[in-house]
Chain A
Amino acid sequence: MQVLGIFYYWVFAILLMIGFYAVVAKINLVKKLIGLSIFQSAVFLLYLTMGKVTGGTAPIYQDDAVNQLFSNPLPQVLILTAIVVGISTTALGLGIVVRIKEEYGSIEEQEIQEIDRR
């Protein structure tokens, strides 16, 4: 049961490896970027899980309630920033892919290398 009890870490690790595999193994530049996005999303999930407190509620302070258990809001705030960074990276990466397509007429890594070698 211990293995299943930390299933969220398994989700993180598996997603991370799927993304990493795509970045390394795919030769199509857009697929590489998709892999990179999956890779980053895995890390977002890692941060989200660490903020969860069992039985905790949204961190809104109320006067009448006593001894309320709150989830930690900080990881979510951090990851909001990291998501913005991730989107910018993907956008810039896609922008570069468009320029590569314009210049080389291809978005396959090997074909680009061959064109350069000529």
Chain B
Amino acid sequence: MTPLEFHLPALQVAAPMLLAPVVALLRPRGLAWAATLVASLMALAIAIGLTQGALSGESFSYAMGGWEPPYGIELHVDMFSALVLLIVTGASSIALMAGKASLDKAVEHSRQPLFYSAWLLVLSGLAGILVSADAFNIFVFMEISSLASYIVVAGGTDRRALPAVFKYLIMGTIGATFYLIGIGLIYMMTGTLNLADMELRIHDVADQRPILVAAGFITVGLALKAAVFPLHVWLPNAYTYAPHAVTAFLAACATKVSLYVLLRFDFVVFQQNLLGHEFQFAAFLMPLAVLAILAGSAVALFESNIKRLLAYSSVAQIGYILLGASLVSLAGLSASLLHMFNHALAKGTLFLAVMALAMRFTRLDLRHLAGSAQHMPWTMAAFVIAGLSLIGVPGTAGFISKWYLVSAALEAGPVGFFLIAVVVIGSLMAVVYIWRIIETAWFEPPTEAGEVIREAPVTMLAVVWLAALANIYFGLATDLPRELAAGAAASLLGQLP
């Protein structure tokens, strides 16, 4: 390992974090955006480097400040964190590349440096959660990313974003505080904060009640942050009224990072050690996952604002991810991790297409968008591709993970058939709500006749299409995400029989 490779886990967090205050000082027009993009691409490059290392079997462990774990803070990168790191840094880079024109419209020029500085803090906070192997450190990074994401969500001109963000702040803080209580109780019983060390020590005290209470607090707190149904109420409004580029970034990765912590805690720390935890985990989360799929999709059927429609669809998609994990099998967990990646692709692209649409249409209600495809055929074509991927049509990324999810459910016995039915019903509802948008855009006559609406800017369109083609690419060449997901699932389940 070269010295640079050795320091990659620390650089993943430090690079965007150190650049954030610099970006806040860059006043000349466009410079803050350019610097943020460079920092984001740098983070993407580091994530790719870490992924290559993880795929070739290296395990990155970094003792922060030279203090040996478990006494010091340890950074640790394996296939699971590499997979989610790719999602986070990729989503940030793509959203920044495509989003300049849209953000110029949404954020006043004088406030842009501060806005981009907050964006970088979101990025470094999320990356910090993913590389950290220390429970308390994860809490601190979680709060860094949350506080910064409240700022970017409220950064636009839409005043309805403010009450939405306030709700997001209240619920996010409650979730994080629950997590903090959980860690406190575990620390009381084990005297350690290092996850790997915790896994060893918790075994001796696993029958004590505080550990059980801690497992409950941590699961509920993180479920709140991950917008698991019915704790999702903060999500739709926050996504709807945020600046469009921010929605594309956060919808692709923010909830998935919380799910990452949830899965890591439940599978690595609790699963092998707590008696009956496997059953409790499944019995608690599987009904919620089923409800999320059905309720989220059902609400999306009747929404008229397309951003809110897609946000409710996100609630349903989180259900799919949880469903795979709640099967507690290798196949189920790898399907769930694969769906994290593929859903990020599909939903990110959909929100990017919405952003392109919003460049020309100020109101995003379905009735205002009638015939929009006649003015903006390229944008809406990209939307269709990503929509097909969200539904899970063969040949797109979404199909792969749903296929794996269904085959994992088949292994689960009688309950599996019920779950397959849920997945199929959820996908059919997705067909309907995506079709409503497509029908309105392509087949209805434009309402404002005679008005000339141009296609979205070419630079933005190019990036949106790049993301749309990635949906097809990862639907055909599935090796990279599949290998990462399978490896991550195997390491999470490592010690299960």
Question: Which A residues are closer than 8 A to B by beta carbons?
Answer: 20, 23, 29, 32, 36, 39-40, 43, 46-47, 50, 75, 78, 81-82, 85, 88-89, 92-93, 96-97, 99-100, 103-104, 109, 112-113, 116
Chain B residue contacts of A116, Cβ below 8 A: 160, 163
Question: How many chain B residues have a CB neighbour from A under 8 Å?
Answer: 24
Number of A-B residue pairs with CB-CB distance less than 8 Å in the complex they form: 67
In the complex formed, the residue of A with least CB distance to B181 is A43
**Given A43-B181, A88-B147, A89-B147, do A96 and B154 touch, yes or no (CB 8 Å)?**
yes
A81 touches B184 (CB 8 A): no
Q: B48 contacts the other chain (Cβ, under 8 Å)?
A: no
How far is it, in angstroms, between the C-alpha of A45 and the C-alpha of B339 when the chains are bound?
A: 40
Main SS class of interface, B: helix
Chain A residue contacts of B181, Cβ below 8 A: 43, 46
Chain A residue contacts of B136, Cβ below 8 A: 78, 81
Which residues 103-148 of B have a CB within 8 angstroms of A? 136, 139-140, 143, 147
How far is it, in angstroms, between the C-alpha of A82 and the C-alpha of B176 when the chains are bound?
A: 11
A39 touches B188 (CB 8 A): no
In the complex formed, the residue of B with least CB distance to A85 is B143
* Chain A binder among B164-172, B344-352, B387-395: B164-172
Chain B residue contacts of A88, Cβ below 8 A: 143, 147
User: Contact check: which of B139, B163, B169 meets A89 at CB < 8 Å?
Assistant: B169
Q: B14 contacts the other chain (Cβ, under 8 Å)?
A: no
User: Contact check: which of B162, B173, B177, B184 meets A99 at CB < 8 Å?
Assistant: B162
Chain B residue contacts of A93, Cβ below 8 A: 166, 169-170
Main SS class of interface, A: helix
A96 touches B150 (CB 8 A): yes
A92 touches B180 (CB 8 A): no
A50 touches B159 (CB 8 A): no
List 19 contacting pairs A-B, 8 Å CB cutoff, sorted by A: A20-B174, A36-B173, A39-B177, A43-B177, A50-B184, A78-B136, A81-B140, A85-B147, A88-B143, A88-B147, A89-B143, A89-B173, A93-B169, A96-B162, A99-B154, A100-B163, A104-B159, A104-B163, A116-B163
Chain A residue contacts of B180, Cβ below 8 A: 43, 82
